[in-house]
Amino acid sequence: MPNGDRKIGPQDPDIARSEESEKQFRYELKQMMDGLYNHPSIVMWVPFNEGWGQFKTAEIVKWVKDYDPSRMVNNASGWTDRKVGDVHDIHNYPEPASPEPEPNRAVVLGEFGGLGLNIPGHMWEETNWGYRNLSSKEELLYRYETFYTDVWKLKDSKGLCAAVYTQITDVESEANGLITYDRELMKVDPKLLKDINTGNFIAAPEFDPDGGLFNKNDQVIIQAEKGQEVRYTLDGSEPDRSSRLYSGPIVLAKSVTLKAKAYSSSKESRTVTADFEATTFPRPDYKKAYSNKYRAGGDFVLYDGLKGGDTFADGKWQGFHWEDLDVTFDLGTAKSLSEISVRFIESQANWIFLPEQVSISVSADGEVYQVVEQFANNITPSEQVNEIKSFKASLKGKLKIRYIRVFAKNIGNCPEWFQGSGKAWIFADEVEIK
């Protein structure tokens, strides 16, 4: 599709183009259709994508349909749907989703996935990103299979008609392809890809939580498809049909390596693995829930000693969508501390902003808190892909501290100057205590 002019968000009205801008758009649209008309691989025309330059949507869709009645028309791939055309197309990252079923239009998932895996020596450049960065081919296979398990469920439950994964190959700095940028390596075995993409597989079980720190007597739930049995081990050995049968939550008493596999009468899933490490550090108390899309390591991730890297999607940054971060840490006993700090990452292109306010409070008894440092942020436009900022409280005097509360105010809706409207994110990791 042609582009140009301004972008709109999901709730914004169509833009008003100048006479010159509209004339240029219509000229380029017709030229594009004329030039590509005979390509049999084109089954649908998409005049607008993700709100870029979107104007007079219904009128443009009608013109395209009249000019080429042989193909379907997607009025807006991404988000700003005007309820015209042949399909309702959404983009959702990273997990799959579906629009609600409609009587007269197909519902499709125009983009999802974006699982990033950097293969050294096969990149366009070393600085790269994905919507969720992964560390191994095994993890990529696991996430890809999990996503397509949900895609096939959405086909049955919502009538999802199509799903387009991002993407076939790495593209320059985007490392979310199934094939490397130089086309030399497949990141996932082609046979396994075929089985997953055609629904010819048994979905692997899922763990909740999926590893990390835990307190004694915490439980792990294993989820599998209806009608399948799950066999598991706790010593790191490979499960088989003679291993323990899962029948209910597993109570954790010590550090373990949990492995599990799902079975039908004739097939078996691949093995899933998670490491659980015991800790005596009390579970942090969240007043606001983090997003399940970006839960990182769960409740303990902000104080697990593993800092998030230089991209929000590396699996270590915890995300809060339209919610504040409000979490309290119990150190177990009162201690003398010299410094408390918390880090945030900003990536405005992905609707992620620094918090507009950060406060760090301490208490000896968990009842009366003293604010030891408070910060205010002036949120301004930034072109940096990822920017990390640390907020640090230096403690003076002889405070005895057992409880630490970290509060960060989400800006809520994206600023008026932002490229599109919508709900803002904040991403945090790590809280460091000295």
Residue 26 belongs to a domain with what CATH number? 3.20.20.80
Indicate whether 35 and 156 sit together in one domain: yes
Indicate whether 413 and 308 sit together in one domain: yes
Our count of domains for the chain comes to 3
Q: Look at residue 289 and tell me if it is in a domain.
A: yes
Q: Where in the sequence is the domain holding 310, given as residue range(s)?
A: 285-433
Check residue 201 and give its pLDDT.
94
Is the Cβ–Cβ distance between 300 and 285 less than 8 Å?
A: no
Indicate whether 145 and 212 sit together in one domain: no
CA distance 160 to 250: 35
Indicate whether 71 and 188 sit together in one domain: yes
Q: Which residue stretches of the chain have pLDDT < 70?
A: 384-385, 420
Residue 396 belongs to a domain with what CATH number? 2.60.120.260
Is the Cβ–Cβ distance between 428 and 323 less than 8 Å?
A: no
Q: Look at residue 4 and tell me if it is in a domain.
A: no
Indicate whether 274 and 312 sit together in one domain: no
Indicate whether 266 and 367 sit together in one domain: no
User: Which of these three, 130, 164, 197, is where a domain ends?
Assistant: 197
Q: Look at residue 305 and tell me if it is in a domain.
A: yes
CA distance 280 to 20: 67
Three-state SS at 263: strand
CA distance 87 to 105: 5
Three-state SS at 381: coil
Check residue 310 and give its pLDDT.
85
Indicate whether 325 and 290 sit together in one domain: yes
Q: Look at residue 242 and tell me if it is in a domain.
A: yes
Indicate whether 187 and 327 sit together in one domain: no
CA distance 302 to 306: 8
User: Which of these three, 197, 228, 255, is where a domain ends?
Assistant: 197
User: What token pair was written down for 400?
Assistant: 């005895």
In sequence order, what are the beta bridge partners of 132? 115
Pick left, alpha or beta for residue 227 (phi over 0 → left; psi -120 to 50 → alpha; otherwise beta): left
Q: Look at residue 78 and tell me if it is in a domain.
A: yes
User: Which of these three, 197, 214, 230, is where a domain ends?
Assistant: 197
Indicate whether 245 and 342 sit together in one domain: no
Check residue 62 and give its pLDDT.
98
Contacts of 204 (CB under 8 A, 6+ apart): 142, 145, 146, 260, 261, 262, 269, 270, 271, 272
Check residue 385 and give its pLDDT.
67
Check residue 381 and give its pLDDT.
86
